[in-house]
Amino acid sequence: MPGNGADTPDGARRLVRHALADRLLHWGMAISTLILLGTAFLPILGIEFAWVTIHWVSGIVLTVLVIVHTVRASFWQDLRSMWVDRADLRNTLQLARWNLRMSARPPGLPGKYSLAQKLIHHVFTVVGLAAIVTGGLMMVKIDTPWWDRNPYWLGEDVFGVIYVIHDLAALALITLVMVHIYFALRPEKLHFTRSMFLGWITRREYNEHHDSARWAVDAE
């Protein structure tokens, strides 16, 4: 029950929210994304440096990390915890009714992830994959240790579409990163941010923000 044990010594007990491997993957992908955005947009702002190699190497690192994360999430974690289910939609509807004073019953609590967290994850996934796939196709136009550049591998019209999708994905990523950081720094969300650094939340935070029937958590 929400709030159960929140005012007892047990309420301060640490519970695992993110394992070390998941935190390392998260921060690896975050750093790679920031490097990609920096090498993409700083030259446009007039800050000149040798950015091409840094950009494509960071893109490969991000691609590998995304693959590892996908495999780990699919086989070693509960992939369903990130799915949007009927309980999420029902709780969102009840939240709207409660905020509009149409119902006296407060909304139910989420599982490990709220609907907002699930949605931004899915948007990040779609936008990130668009950037990765188009970026990979664009690499045929540069020399790498594995192949020589071939700017004629695809027609100019096809490359034009690829450039547009890649640029739109990059712009969308900037917006998503800003939104992600904004909510991570909000006072009521800081326990989530701490858990991405240290891995844990307290029993009190678990009881206040999560439905134990939807997310069974382990002690640290």
Domains assigned to the chain: 9-209 (1.20.950.20)
Does the pTM surpass 0.85? The reply is: yes
**147 three-state secondary structure:** coil
d(Cα 159, Cα 157) in Å, to the nearest integer?
5
The string of pLDDT tens digits covering residues 151-199 is 989 999 999 999 999 999 999 999 999 999 999 999 999 999 999 999 9
* Tally of CA atoms within 13 A in the half-sphere of 137 that contains its CB: 19
Maximum alpha-carbon separation in the chain: 68
Among all chains, which residue has been given the structure tokens 């969300």?
A: 189
Q: Is 219 helix (H, G, I), strand (E, B) or coil?
A: strand
Tokens representing 155?
């027609």
